[in-house]
Homo-oligomer: A and B are copies of this chain.
Amino acid sequence: DNGRPVISSGDGRFSMAFRVRAQIDFGAFLQDDPATSTAQYKDLSTGALVRRGFFGVEGKAFKDFWYEFRYNAGGGGGAESGDPAMSIARVAYTGIDHFRVNVGIIEPAFGLEATTSSGQLMFLERPEIENIATDTFGGADARRGIEVAFQHENLFLPGDNLIWTAAFTGSKTTAPGGSAAGHGNGGDEQTQLLSHLSYRFWNDGPSNAIIGADYATILGTGGNVNSYTLQDRPQIRVDGTRLIGAAIGGGNFVSHHGFLIGGHAAANYENFYLGGEYIYYKTDRFNTVTKTADHPDFSGYFLEGSWVLTGEPKTYAVNATNNEIGGFGSPKVANPFSFDGESWGAWELVARYSFTNLDWYRDTPTYGIAGGREGVFDVGLNWYLNNEVKLQFHDSIVHVNKLNAAAGTTQVGQDLNIIGIRLQFSN
């Protein structure tokens, strides 16, 4: 009932579905007066942009094969606004029971919200600690790689669902040039290994409860690249500026490796939902002057909840050939919006608190890292007019605590408020 057009061959061996996803975001940044502010980023940019502009085709090809092909003409704000045009280009083989293999340009299953389709997010962006995980540690879409997944229902308990995936990935398909990812003389590609475990231990009709764990490691930063960066935006991308960020490597230091571990739990009881996740990052660094190694570590977490006011339950995807396997999704609208009759679509109230700490011994001059700490409290109202059109109204209260440098004496953090509105069309 989502109106996704499909063409099929008579014998059912081939099909092609046409997919569209357009997200238009408006964001307003309410900050202190730039004339007196000491913040690093005093005057973030209010405006609108195309966050995602997907067009894609997917379908069955012969027995046991599935393909998906997706372009993206959207992106975030700022210099990095151009998200990769080739977002997904994968072939999935599903010919062995309980297994599937994804090869090509993939989006590996990972974490709690990264297993929710970007078309079904409760908030405008996924939480910072998940974006750091997927961007730096090899997940997210537009990723060259291969993924193997095992999925089994009713394995230990009636109604349970076990999912285990492992992926080996390279860089994103973003326009390369010059650097390691640029495939030029002197720069091999960065590679990562990821693994995701998710278990639904309770299921009662529309209600579900899951626990999960994740691991990812940077096998090598590639070529002559000696550093990487943990960073993200304040959960909206209308202005592309990252308020916090920790560079691993640089100066006297080189870094080629790092890993993360994470755990999450989530459950929906009919139209109520509650979830949370914690992720811990540990990096390897080598001081080329003192010839000593150290291991800066960082962490973050989030807690989120939702209440579908109109009563539709949250949905859980038992299986999927893409990253949505075992993820929570949008409610299915019972009464699509129309002025005739009492049909107002579905309404959902959501809230999330997210905290990310990218400081490590930040008061120590030689080796400390003053990446910054950020807490974001996001409260929102989602209006699903029907299963294709959605409007989201969000307010984020952001607190940034950041020093101008390791052992620096100037606070360059700030308190700000961000209004975010999204219009989405997707099928």
Q: Give A contacts to B, CB under 8 Å.
A: 3, 5-7, 9, 13-16, 18, 20, 22, 24, 41-50, 53, 55, 57, 61-65, 67, 69, 71, 73-74, 77-79, 81-82, 85-86, 89, 91, 95-96, 103-105, 144-145, 170-171, 173, 175-178, 180-189, 222-224, 238-241, 336-339, 385-389, 423, 425, 427
Question: Chain B contacts of A241 at CB under 8 A?
Answer: 184-185
- Let me know if A173 and B91 touch, CB within 8 A: no
Chain B residue at smallest Cβ distance from A2: B14
Query: When chains A and B are docked, how far (Å) is the Cα of A16 from the Cα of B79?
Result: 34
User: A2 → chain B, closest Cβ, in Å?
Assistant: 9
Question: Chain B contacts of A175 at CB under 8 A?
Answer: 81-82
Nearest 4 interchain pairs by C-beta: A47-B189, A77-B183, A3-B14, A22-B89
Q: Given A44-B185, A62-B385, list of 18 further CB < 8 A pairs? A: A6-B7, A16-B18, A43-B223, A46-B188, A47-B188, A48-B171, A48-B189, A50-B144, A53-B71, A61-B389, A62-B337, A62-B386, A65-B388, A79-B182, A79-B184, A81-B183, A96-B339, A104-B425
User: A386 → chain B, closest Cβ, in Å?
Assistant: 4
Can you list 11 A-B pairs, Cβ within 8 angstroms, ordered by A? A5-B16, A22-B105, A46-B189, A48-B171, A61-B427, A62-B386, A64-B339, A79-B177, A81-B175, A82-B175, A95-B338
Query: When chains A and B are docked, how far (Å) is the Cα of A141 from the Cα of B6?
Result: 29
- Let me know if B171 and A20 touch, CB within 8 A: no
- Let me know if A240 and B24 touch, CB within 8 A: no
- Let me know if B144 and A49 touch, CB within 8 A: yes
User: A322 → chain B, closest Cβ, in Å?
Assistant: 15
Query: When chains A and B are docked, how far (Å) is the Cα of A336 from the Cα of B57?
Result: 22
Question: Chain B contacts of A387 at CB under 8 A?
Answer: 62
Q: A62 is contacted by which of B3, B65, B78, B91 (Cβ under 8 Å)?
A: B3
Question: Chain B contacts of A186 at CB under 8 A?
Answer: 42-43, 45
Query: When chains A and B are docked, how far (Å) is the Cα of A105 from the Cα of B51?
Result: 11
- Let me know if A47 and B13 touch, CB within 8 A: no
- Let me know if A185 and B14 touch, CB within 8 A: no
- Let me know if A222 and B47 touch, CB within 8 A: yes
- Let me know if B24 and A14 touch, CB within 8 A: no
Query: When chains A and B are docked, how far (Å) is the Cα of A133 from the Cα of B186?
Result: 29
- Let me know if B47 and A171 touch, CB within 8 A: yes
Q: A423 is contacted by which of B22, B41, B91 (Cβ under 8 Å)?
A: B91
